[in-house]
C-alpha cells in the first residue's frame, strides 16, 4: 500500500481541527441553541451553557474562527448566530446520527420542554419534529414534493407555494442554497423539508400565526387557525 500523499494528510488535519470545534460540550450546547435561527448575545449563550462569560467568549472566538458562527456588534452587545443554513443542516444531520440514549430521570419541566421540541420546533429557519415531518409527508402525498426523485419541489409544488402560500417567485430562486433539501430529523429519524422552500413554509406559518413559538426556545405549537389552515391546504388533521 502506498503511503498517503501530503494533500491527504492536510485534508485529514483540517477535518480533525474542524471536528474539534464541536468536540466540547459547551461549544456544542451553544451551537444547538443557535438552531433557533436567531442571534444571541454572548451573555445569553454563557447562561444557557452554564459557564462564565469570559469562558463563553473564548469558545465563541473558536467557533467564529472556525466558520461555524458569525458575529455582529450593536452598541456594547456582541451578537452571534450560525454562519449560514448549511451549518444548521450539518448540526441536525450529526444529531440525527447519534444513537438514542435513555434519558436520566428529570423533573416535569424538563420533560415537558423535551416533549414540546419533539412535537414541533424550528431547525434554523424551517420546521422540524413531528410537525415538520408531517408537513413534509403531506406535501409529498399531494404531489408537491418528490422524495423519490431526489427530494425536489415539483412544478405543482412551486405553484402551490406561490398561489396558496403567497410566496414571491423571487424568494424561490435557488442560488447557493437549494430549493429543497432533505434534512434528517434527529427526533423522528426521517427527513423533513429544508432549503429555500422549507424556509418559506416556516416563515409563512409563523407570519400568519398558524404556528407560534413556545417561550424563547425552538419549540413551536400549531394554533387553532393553523389547524384549520393545514387541514384546508394539506389535509392535515393529526397534529398532536
Q: What is the pLDDT of residues 90-113, one digit of tens each?
A: 888 888 777 655 455 456 666 677
pLDDT at 230 over 90: yes
Residues 70-91: what's their mean pLDDT? 86
**Residue 221 pLDDT > 90, yes or no?**
yes
The model's confidence at residue 218, banded by pLDDT at 50, 70 and 90, is: confident
Domain with CATH 1.10.10.10 in the chain: 6-83
pLDDT in tens, 12-43: 888 899 999 999 999 999 998 898 888 899 99
Does 123 have pLDDT greater than 70?
Answer: yes
pLDDT at residue 143, as a whole number: 96
Q: Show Cβ contacts of residue 187 under 8 Å, excluding neighbours closer than 6 positions.
A: 117, 118, 128, 129, 130
Local confidence band at 156 (pLDDT 50, 70, 90 cut-offs): very high
In this prediction, residue 192 has a pLDDT band, given cuts at 50, 70 and 90, of: very high
* Strands of the sheet with 69-74, listed across from one edge: 40-41, 77-82, 69-74
State the fold for domain 6-83: Arc Repressor Mutant, subunit A (1.10.10)
State residue 105's pLDDT score.
Answer: 46
Is the confidence at residue 7, as pLDDT, over 60? no
Per-residue confidence (pLDDT) for residue 209, from 0 to 100: 97
pLDDT, position 108:
61
Main-chain phi, psi angles of 236, to 5 degrees: -80, 130
Using CA atoms, how far apart are residues 236 and 226, in angstroms rounded to an integer? 10
Whether the pTM exceeds 0.75: the reply is no
Distance CA 88, CA 35 (A): 6
Tens of pLDDT, residues 196-209: 999 999 999 999 99
> By the 8 A CB rule, do 37 and 22 touch?
no
Above 90 in pLDDT, residue 164?
Answer: yes
**Mean of the per-residue pLDDT values for the chain?**
87
Cα separation, 175 vs 182, whole angstroms: 17
Amino acid at each position: 500500500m502506498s503511503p498517503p500523499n501530503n494533500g491527504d494528510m492536510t485534508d485529514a488535519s483540517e477535518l480533525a481541527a474542524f471536528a474539534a470545534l464541536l468536540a466540547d460540550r459547551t461549544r456544542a450546547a451553544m451551537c444547538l441553541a443557535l438552531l433557533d435561527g436567531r442571534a444571541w448575545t454572548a451573555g445569553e449563550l454563557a447562561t444557557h451553557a452554564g459557564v462564565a462569560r469570559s469562558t463563553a467568549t473564548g469558545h465563541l472566538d473558536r467557533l467564529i474562527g472556525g466558520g461555524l458562527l458569525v458575529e455582529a456588534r450593536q452598541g456594547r452587545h456582541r451578537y452571534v448566530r450560525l454562519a449560514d443554513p448549511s451549518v444548521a443542516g450539518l448540526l441536525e444531520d450529526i444529531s440525527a446520527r447519534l444513537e438514542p440514549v435513555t434519558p436520566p430521570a428529570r423533573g416535569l419541566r424538563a420533560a415537558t420542554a423535551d416533549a414540546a421540541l419533539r412535537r414541533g420546533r424550528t431547525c434554523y429557519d424551517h420546521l422540524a419534529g413531528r410537525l415538520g415531518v408531517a408537513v413534509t409527508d403531506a406535501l409529498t402525498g399531494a404531489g408537491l414534493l418528490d422524495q423519490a426523485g431526489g427530494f425536489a419541489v415539483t412544478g405543482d409544488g412551486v405553484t402551490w407555494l406561490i398561489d396558496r402560500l403567497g410566496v414571491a417567485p423571487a424568494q424561490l430562486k435557488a442560488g447557493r442554497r437549494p430549493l429543497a433539501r432533505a434534512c434528517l430529523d434527529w427526533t423522528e429519524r426521517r427527513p423533513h423539508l429544508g432549503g429555500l422552500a422549507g424556509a418559506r413554509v416556516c416563515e409563512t406559518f409563523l407570519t400568519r400565526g398558524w404556528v407560534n413559538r413556545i417561550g424563547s426556545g425552538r419549540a413551536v405549537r400549531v394554533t387553532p387557525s393553523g389547524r384549520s389552515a393545514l387541514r384546508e391546504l394539506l389535509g392535515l388533521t393529526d397534529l398532536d
